Amino acid sequence: MDKQKIIVGATGASGMPILVRCLELIRQNGKYESCLVMSRSARLTLEQETGLRAEEIYPLADKVLQEDQTGAGPASGTFPTKGMLIVPCSMKTLAGIHSGYGENLIQRAADVTMKEQRTLVLAVRETPLSPIHLRNMQELSMIPGVHIVPPMMTFYHKPKTIEEMTDHIAAKLLEHFGIEAEGYRRWQGI
């Protein structure tokens, strides 16, 4: 059976280790394949946060597209996908999606995902949040299929390392696509 595609957009917000982990988990799952689109700012932030160049993480994705490839498959609703994950999602890209601006392939693919009522998971990151950021998130959260999932720290699963915290956040993002990450520690109750 053909694997279903998950479009993975990466923008210039903080959180690049989470992007890397999500790509690894999609690859491990076996049911899905990833199509990675990184913005120019995402490449800069990746280098700042991990010391890696974009080309070094490309092999984790099944397909790589550039943000200026606005004629590529994900720009059309006829291109079949399971949905789209944007990790991390900057406030700029959030605003572009909120307004339906479609400036680049990431924003256009998100627009298509919403109009087709597929799953769109936005790992939005900024702090503190302005009223504009909050309005954009609140209004987008009302659209069927849209999930606003800020990569927030959690302690209840008792992470011992940053990697364990990263794994937990990545698992929470991917469960919206029906992916159960190995080692995901769900709350069992007290």
Ligand X SMILES: Cc1cc2nc3c(=O)[nH]c(=O)nc-3n(C[C@H](O)[C@H](O)[C@H](O)COP(=O)(O)O)c2cc1C
Least distance in angstroms from the C-beta of 190 to ligand X = 33
Please name the residue that has the structure tokens 């991917």.
Answer: 174
Chain position whose Cβ is nearest to ligand X: 12
User: Residue 65: what are its φ and ψ, rounded to 5°?
Assistant: -125, 160
Please name the residue that has the structure tokens 């590529």.
Answer: 72
User: Rounded distance, CA 140 to CA 144, Å?
Assistant: 9
Residue of 188, 175, 183, 170 whose CA lies nearest to 22: 170
**Annotated binding residue 42:** no
- Applying CB under 6 A, the site for ligand X has a residue count of 16
**Annotated binding residue 90:** yes
DSSP letter string, 4-50 = EEEEEEE-SSS-HHHHHHHHHHHHHHSSEEEEEEE-HHHHHHHHHHH
Least distance in angstroms from the C-beta of 153 to ligand X = 14
DSSP-derived pairing of the beta strands 146-148 and 119-124: parallel
The only residue of 6, 11, 20, 22 in contact with ligand X, by rule CB under 6 A = 11
Q: Which is nearer to ligand X, 29 or 90 (CB)?
A: 90
Question: Of 74-113, which residues contact ligand X (CB under 6 A)?
Answer: 90-93
Q: Which is nearer to ligand X, 11 or 34 (CB)?
A: 11
User: Rounded distance, CA 49 to CA 82, Å?
Assistant: 29
Q: Which is nearer to ligand X, 44 or 134 (CB)?
A: 44
Q: Per rule CB under 6 A, is residue 45 in the interface with ligand X?
A: yes
Q: Per rule CB under 6 A, is residue 151 in the interface with ligand X?
A: no
Q: Per rule CB under 6 A, is residue 17 in the interface with ligand X?
A: no
Please check whether residue 179 is in contact with residue 85, taking contact to mean a CB–CB distance below 8 angstroms.
Answer: no
Q: Per rule CB under 6 A, is residue 168 in the interface with ligand X?
A: no
Q: Per rule CB under 6 A, is residue 34 in the interface with ligand X?
A: no
Residue of 185, 183, 166, 178 whose CA lies nearest to 22: 166
Q: Per rule CB under 6 A, is residue 12 in the interface with ligand X?
A: yes
Least distance in angstroms from the C-beta of 44 to ligand X = 6
Which positions touch ligand X (CB under 6 A)? 11-14, 39, 41-42, 44-45, 48, 90-93, 125-126
